Amino acid sequence: MAGTTGTSLPFRLALAQCRLVVGDLAGNAATIRRYAADAAARDAQLVAFPEMALTGYPPEDLVFRRSFCAASEAALRDLAATLVGDGLGELPVVVGYLRRDEHDRPHNSAAVLFGGDVAAATDKVLLPTYGVFDERRYFEPGSTFAAVTVAGVRVGLTICEDLWWPGGPCVAAAAAGVDLVLCINGSPYESGKADVREALIAERAAEAAAPVAYLNQVGGQDELVFDGGSFVVDESGVTLARTDQFTEELFVVDLTLAPRPTTTAAQAAGLRIIRTEIATPSAPRTDPEPLTVAPRRDRLDLDYAAVVTGTRDYVRKNGFETVCLGLSGGIDSALTATVAVDALGADRVHTVAMPSSYSSRHSVDDAAELARRQGTRHRVIAIAPMVEAYQESLHLTGVAEENLQARVRGTLLMGLSNQEGHLVLATGNKSELATGFSTLYGDSVGGFAPIKDIPKSEVWELARWRNAQTPDAPPIPQESIDKPPSAELAPGQLDSDRLPDYTVLDRLLDDYVENDLGRAELLARGFDAETLDRTMRLVDLAEYKRRQYPPGPKVTPRAFGRDRRLPITNRWREGT
The interface with its own copies within residues 257-316 (CB under 8 A) comprises 313-314
516 binds its own copies, rule: CB under 8 A? yes
571 binds its own copies, rule: CB under 8 A? yes
DSSP state string for 146-203: EEEEETTEEEEEEEGGGGTSTTSHHHHHHHHT-SEEEEEE--B--TTHHHHHHHHHHH
Q: Which is nearer to its own copies, 50 or 410 (CB)?
A: 410
347 binds its own copies, rule: CB under 8 A? no
Tell me the chain's radius of gyration from C-alpha atoms. Answer: 26
Cα separation, 519 vs 512, whole angstroms: 9
Binding mask 366-385 for its own copies (x = CB under 8 A): ---------------xx--x
Residue of 36, 38, 75 whose CA lies nearest to 54: 75
570 binds its own copies, rule: CB under 8 A? yes
> In the complex, what is the shortest distance from the CB of residue 236 to its own copies, in angstroms, rounded to a whole number?
32
**Which residues, 416 to 445, sit near its own copies by CB under 8 A?**
416, 418-419, 440-441, 445
Q: Which is nearer to its own copies, 222 or 234 (CB)?
A: 222
Q: Which of 18, 51, 170, 317 is catalytic?
A: 51
Q: Which is nearer to its own copies, 525 or 573 (CB)?
A: 573
Cα separation, 511 vs 453, whole angstroms: 15
Give, to the nearest 10 degrees, the angle between helix 25-41 and helix 66-85. Answer: 30
59 binds its own copies, rule: CB under 8 A? yes
Told to judge if 18 belongs to the known catalytic residues of this protein, a careful annotator would answer no
Cα separation, 164 vs 239, whole angstroms: 17
User: Do residues 36 and 88 lie in contact, with contact meaning Cβ atoms separated by under 8 Å?
Assistant: yes
Stated as kind and residue range, the H or E segment containing 387 is helix 384-394
Given 1, 104, 287, 393, the residue binding its own copies (CB under 8 A): 393
Told to judge if 456 belongs to the known catalytic residues of this protein, a careful annotator would answer no
Given 105, 137, 299, 372, the residue binding its own copies (CB under 8 A): 137
User: Do residues 132 and 175 lie in contact, with contact meaning Cβ atoms separated by under 8 Å?
Assistant: no
Number of residues that bind its own copies (CB under 8 A): 86
The DSSP call for residue 510 is I
Given 41, 397, 482, 530, the residue binding its own copies (CB under 8 A): 397
Amino acid identity, position 323: V
Given 5, 10, 23, 360, the residue binding its own copies (CB under 8 A): 23
511 binds its own copies, rule: CB under 8 A? no
470 binds its own copies, rule: CB under 8 A? no
Q: Which of 18, 69, 135, 160 is catalytic?
A: 160
> In the complex, what is the shortest distance from the CB of residue 572 to its own copies, in angstroms, rounded to a whole number?
3
Told to judge if 124 belongs to the known catalytic residues of this protein, a careful annotator would answer yes
In 502-552, alpha helices (H): 502-509, 519-524, 529-541, 543-547
> In the complex, what is the shortest distance from the CB of residue 469 to its own copies, in angstroms, rounded to a whole number?
28
Stated as kind and residue range, the H or E segment containing 435 is helix 430-435
Active site residues: 51, 124, 160
